[in-house]
A and B are shown apart, each in its own frame.
Chain A
Amino acid sequence: AQSVTQLGSHVSVSEGALVLLRCNYSSSVPPYLFWYVQYPNQGLQLLLKYTSAATLVKGINGFEAEFKKSETSFHLTKPSAHMSDAAEYFCAVTIYNQGGKLIFGQGTELSVKP
């Protein structure tokens, strides 16, 4: 079975500071990994995805993530935080060709201080 653990339910950074949201996965087979962002009372928007191609993945809004198999990690980073980045972030895993259902982590709420 697959699972995802997000370290830190709440992360607070200053505007312009580095954003680092941590995600570790567990899977017996090579996974597909995703980061989604959720703004209050809205749906989930895909930030980026890893589907076994390049290990460094660039997404929207300046975010990127690196797949590290040896560390079973897929941390999300952004060099400089904007106020508009404040939201809930979910890491998710699925296994290719097994129906596609997503298993989500517990979420990390990102706050950005002026």
Chain B
Amino acid sequence: AAGVIQSPRHLIKEKRETATLKCYPIPRHDTVYWYQQGPGQDPQFLISFYEKMQSDKGSIPDRFSAQQFSDYHSELNMSSLELGDSALYFCASSADRGGNEQFFGPGTRLTVL
């Protein structure tokens, strides 16, 4: 079965650079969620999209922005990167934004030097 695809899997950036993370949801899933997991931490909700519109917003810094495109893939754009942005970024998709089940991608590990 098709799963959530995230690219790239690993990304190394310098401070103050920008990064773009991509997420391709499971076919026919119209809801995408982004989470950030710092080292040794639990995943924290950043932002979600339903039918290409922002659905909910969590603890996402103003330096970050995201969108969902017409093919339902989503991109998380991160600017002015800081050392503290180093983390594992997960994307999850769902066919039911009511909260029934989310399927997680393998994550993008971002390292900021």
Contacts and interface: CB of A to CB of B under 8 A. Distances in A.
A44 B100 contact: no
A78 interface: no
- Classify chain A: how many residues form its interface, as a range: 20 to 34
Contact of B33 (A43, A97, A100): A100
Contacts of A106: 41-42
- Classify chain B: how many residues form its interface, as a range: 20 to 34
Which of B94, B102, B109 gathers most chain A CB within 10 Å? B102
Nearest to B105: A43
B100 A51 contact: yes
Nearest to A101: B45
A102 interface: yes
Given A43-B90, A43-B107, A44-B90, A100 B42 contact: no
B61 interface: no
A42 interface: yes
B90 A90 contact: no
Nearest to A107: B42
Contact of A97 (B43, B44, B98, B104): B98
Nearest to B42: A104
Interface of A: 32, 34, 36, 41-46, 49, 51, 90, 94-107
